[in-house]
Amino acid sequence: MKQFVLFLLFFLIVQIDSDAQFKSYFQNGSLRIDFVLSGNAQESKASIFELKKERFYGGSLHKTIDSLNYGEFKISLLDKLDSTVIYTRGFCTLFEEWQTTDEAKRMDKSFFQTVTVPFPKKEVVVSIERRKRNGQFYNLLNTSIDPRAYSIVKGKLNGVKTHKLIDNGNKDECVDIAFIGEGYADYEMDKFHQDIQRMYDYMITQSPFDRYQNKFNFWAVDAVSAESGVTDPRKDVWKDTALKSSFNTLNSDRYLESTHTFLIRDYAALVPYDQIYVIANTDKYGGGGIYNHFSLTSIDNSRSLTVFIHEFGHAFAGLGDEYYTSEVSYSEYFNQEIEPWQPNLTTLINFEAKWKGMISKSTPIPTPAKEKYLDKVGVFEGGGYSAKGIYRPTYDCRMKSNEADEFCPVCQKAIEEMILFLTD
């Protein structure tokens, strides 16, 4: 069965592995699917809110099938006539994080979610799947979309300035990041652009970004906030900002997020993008990053630049948190009975599929936290918010702490694979 699936996947990749094939299924622009996820700790429901046609599609034109299989959710597009799978992509949501909190055991809640895909030429069936506790996908939503329908919204935000601050070439061969300012008043746009430049200057000192600095375009979307700074509920500070972000997301003080996903996507749509990065104009420590959703960081804290690429590690490469001692709102986030999909975490249930090949024969599995192994790739217990049963690749890493010098070799490899997937 597995071989058959692999054969099928290979066949599909071959079938649409060219720009010509891409053009036979897709036209310019992207189809944006805005939907609402609702439920509680036990139940999930998805329903369409609105469909939009956007001017740009930032992604690869020849790799439409997601071979990495990361993410708690997956979107697939099937040609309606012959059921050929023409596009798939994994993603994560704030909803699934909320589902692991105590609040979700007591009540129902809704979250805005958006996925953008290349705009289809013909009628397609869109399916959204999510993983069960056992890691297998099940279907959450199925709907047919006719690209000619009048109900597809074509409006856009007007009067917002955009700039290509770092230009390394064509959107199809680069990772395009849409940086959107949050909590920058109209007189602070120069600072916003300088902040983006600082982020780029730091990023290209870090492996593997140093080797791929000509593969990134940085766009600035000048979202103007009525007030400078961002909302901080624990200090009773409430700001009128463009993206309505806030600290204390999921009742964790340093967790800075915005639940106004559709609003963020309206701003991002003004430029071509593979990733969205919201920069919050504050010196309070915090941020958040969700795979193929968006990243957010405050910018004026002394640790903001390390937080910046840590969060990008989540949102861009599907990396998991390697820490386990900090306070988080989640309980039993990972099912320790299965191998997690995150490339930098393992339960040792299927370690062959992870970084076993990167460990030298003289390093024991699991690896004791002893002096002689501290600079080696191994399997160190503790990671994914749990001190027991989940293992990480090195003693320290950018995905574990702000004190680490860099991403560990396993995280570096995962980031590199994603850069190549999107640009090669």
* Residues of this chain, 149-178, that bind Zn ion according to CB under 5 A: none
Chain length of the chain:
424
C-alpha gyration radius of the chain: 21
DSSP state of 101: S
DSSP letters spanning 17-39: -SHHHHHHHEEEEEEEEEEEEEE
Q: How far is CA 40 from CA 126, 139, 184, 346, in A?
A: 24, 17, 35, 27
Beta carbon of residue 326, minimum distance to Zn ion (angstroms, whole number): 16
* Span 360-399, contacts to Zn ion by CB under 5 A: 397, 399
Cα(70)–Cα(365) distance, integer angstroms: 25
- Rounded CA-CA distance 343/90 in Å is 14
Q: How far is the CB of 323 from Zn ion (least distance, A)?
A: 11
Please identify, using beta-carbon distances, which residue of 88 and 367 lies nearer to Zn ion: 367
CA angle 394, 98, 183 (to 5 degrees): 85
Nearest residue to 381 via CA among 309, 323, 302, 311: 323
Q: What mask, x for binding Zn ion by CB under 5 A, covers residues 335 to 364?
A: ---------x--------------------
Q: Output 242 or 411, the one with its CB closest to Zn ion.
A: 411
- Residue closer to Zn ion, measured from CB, 177 or 397: 397
Nearest approach in angstroms of CB 407 to Zn ion is 6
Nearer to Zn ion, 290 or 408 (CB): 408
The tokens for 250 are 């999921």
- Residue 54, H or E segment: strand 44-54
DSSP annotation of 97: H
- Residue indicated by tokens 């909190």: 101
DSSP annotation of 229: S
Strands (E), 194-257: 216-221
Report d(CA 315, CA 153) in Å as an integer: 27
Q: How far is the CB of 344 from Zn ion (least distance, A)?
A: 4
Q: Which is nearer to Zn ion, 265 or 398 (CB)?
A: 398
CB of 396 to Zn ion, least distance (A): 9
Binders of Zn ion: how many residues, by CB under 5 A?
5
**x/- letters, 399..418, toward Zn ion (CB under 5 A):** x--------x--x-------
Q: Closer to Zn ion at the Cβ: 157 or 369? A: 369
Minimum CB distance to Zn ion smaller for 271 or for 397: 397
Which residue number, 285 or 355, has a Cβ lying nearer to Zn ion?
355
From the CB of 410, what's the least distance to Zn ion, in Å?
A: 5
CB of 359 to Zn ion, least distance (A): 14
Tell me how far, at minimum, the Cβ of 257 lies from Zn ion, in Å.
23
The binding site for Zn ion (CB under 5 A) comprises 344, 397, 399, 408, 411
